Amino acid sequence: MQTTRSGSQPSSKGPVDWFTGSVRIDSPFQRNAPARVGGAIVTFEPGARTAWHTHPLGQTLIVTTGCGRVQREGGAIAEMLDGKVVEWLEKVTDEQYGDDRGVREK
């Protein structure tokens, strides 16, 4: 068992390669192999968003305040596969973000 005191880990800014706008990331639990589960609390300022991305073993999203848009094509707690928890893709454009249909067009 590992115990971590609340507030003992610093927040980080969402990297500009993966996020648009102001994003804060808190990682209350990240484990080393052989563990496959990790989690983050990601706080988005209005208009901020992630780039398109996938999770090899899926992801569980828990919205604790506000609202958000999600999209699932073809089918925070995420499992790791072969050392990777996320595959980052291109950024979401302003047009896509403003599209109320929530449909990714390629």
Pick the CATH number of 12-98 from 3.30.70.2500, 2.60.120.10, 2.40.30.20, 3.90.1150.10: 2.60.120.10
Which pair of structure tokens corresponds to residue 99?
């599209």
Instruction: Please tell me the least confidently modeled range out of 3-12, 16-25, 74-83.
Output: 74-83
Alpha helices in the chain (DSSP H): 94-98
Which pair of structure tokens corresponds to residue 104?
């990714």
Alpha helices in 6-76 (DSSP H): none
Residue boundaries of the structural domains of the chain: 12-98
Q: Coil, strand, or helix at residue 94? A: helix
Which pair of structure tokens corresponds to residue 85?
């928890």
- The confidence score (pLDDT) of residue 68 equals 75
Q: How much is the pTM?
A: 0.70
> Is residue 39 within 8 Å of 4, Cβ to Cβ?
no
Looking at residue 21, the DSSP 8-state letter turns out to be S
Distance CA 53, CA 46 (A): 20
Tell me: the pLDDT tens digits for 15-58?
999 999 999 999 877 777 787 888 888 999 998 999 999 888 88
Q: Between 104 and 47, where is the model more confident?
A: 47
> Chain-wide mean pLDDT for the chain?
82
